[in-house]
Structures are given as structure tokens and as C-alpha cells.
Amino acid sequence: MKRAIELHINGDTYELLVSPNYTLLEVLRDKLGLMGTKRGCDLGACGACTVLLDGEACLSCLMLAVDAMGKQVLTIEGLSEGGDLHPLQRAFVEKGALQCGFCTPGMILTAKAILDEEPHPTEEVIKKKMAGNLCRCTGYKKVVEALMSVTDSPGKEE
């Protein structure tokens, strides 16, 4: 039986009628047209579907949409403000940390969660926490460089 739910996504409130077996990813993409959140493995292994739930990095393919009720959801569409790219988005562009871009929304949102929690992580911490976001074309070196460039961590490039 469908349920009436209210989702808070990127500062907007949506009233929806969804079946409990819909994941948050399916609602974002198929019902709301927010295609920035990517469907990769759909099994919680690749990180492409990462969104922030109350600031925490969550896999939207393993989250029931009904379970996201009452939480603040942030997708890649809600990250930039007033047309200006978020510093992490700028860093990814400047460092060339993407090629096809499929993994990038998940990468950037995981990076945001990491840096919001720990503004000055070491390179090792970044590598460990970002390891759940898979990239099949650029590789990871430039992603780590992009993250390091927006922190004040030791080892930051000038």
C-alpha cells in the first residue's frame, strides 16, 4: 500500500505517494527527475548513489524512501549556491578529478561529508573514507588531490 510522505530535498519540501519498496534513489531519479544522483551497481558497492542525509553520506540505493522522511536530503543539485560552484566542485574541475563524471556526484557528496566532519584530514584518512566511491576512468589520485586542495591539511599543495 502506498504511503503519503514528505521529503525535504535540497531545501524544498515534496509531498509524495510512494510504495514502501521504493528506494530513495528511485524516488529522486524516477519520481522527481533529480538525475544528478547516479544509479551504479544498485547494491551499495559503488558509492555513485551517495546523497547526504542530515549531513551524513548515505547510499540512496539502500535507503527506503519512506525511511528518509523527516531528514534533510542533499543531492548534487543542491550543492552549488546562486550559480556558484561549491569549492569542492571547483576543486574537482581544477584538478581534473573527473572524466566521464558518472561517479562525481557521489564522490563530491562523500567528500563534503568527510570534510564537514573533519576539516583537516590527512591524506590517509581521505583515501580510506573515499574508498567506497568507485571510479572506472580517472582513477583516484586526482580526486585525493582535489580534496587536499580544499583542506588546510598538512601536505596541502600551495
Partner 1 sequence: MRLPKFEYFEPKDLKEALSILQNEPAAKILAGGTDLLVNMKHRVECPPVLVNIKRIADLNYMRRDNGDVRIGALTPLKRLQAESLIVENFPGLAQAASAVGSYHHQVMGTLAGNICQQNRCMYFNQSKWWRSSRPTCYKAGGEICHVVNKKEICYSAYCGDIAPALMVINAKIALEGPDGSKEMPIEDFFSGDGKAPLVKEPGEILTEIIIPKASADGISTYIKFANRDSIDFPIVGTALWASEKEKQYRVAFTAVDRKPLRGKQVEDFLSGKQLSVQNVKAASDLAAKEARPVKTSVYSPSHKRRMMGLLLQNAVNETKRRSA
DSSP for 3-51, written as a single string: EEEEEEETTEEEEEEE-TT-BHHHIIIIIT--TTS--SSSSSSS-TTEE
Question: In angstroms, what is the minimal distance from the CB of 32 to partner 1?
Answer: 17
Pick out residues in 128-157 that bind partner 1 (CB under 8 A). Answer: 128-133
Residue 51 phi, psi dihedral angles, 5° rounding? -130, 165
Is there binding between residue 57 and partner 1 (CB under 8 A)? yes
62 binds partner 1 (CB under 8 A): yes
Full 3-state SS string of 68-79: HCCCEEECHHHC
Per rule CB under 8 A, is residue 21 in the interface with partner 1? yes
Give yes or no for residue 123 binding partner 1 (CB under 8 A): no
Residues that bind partner 1 (CB under 8 A): 1, 3, 19-23, 26, 42-45, 47, 50, 56-59, 62-64, 66-67, 110, 113-114, 128-133
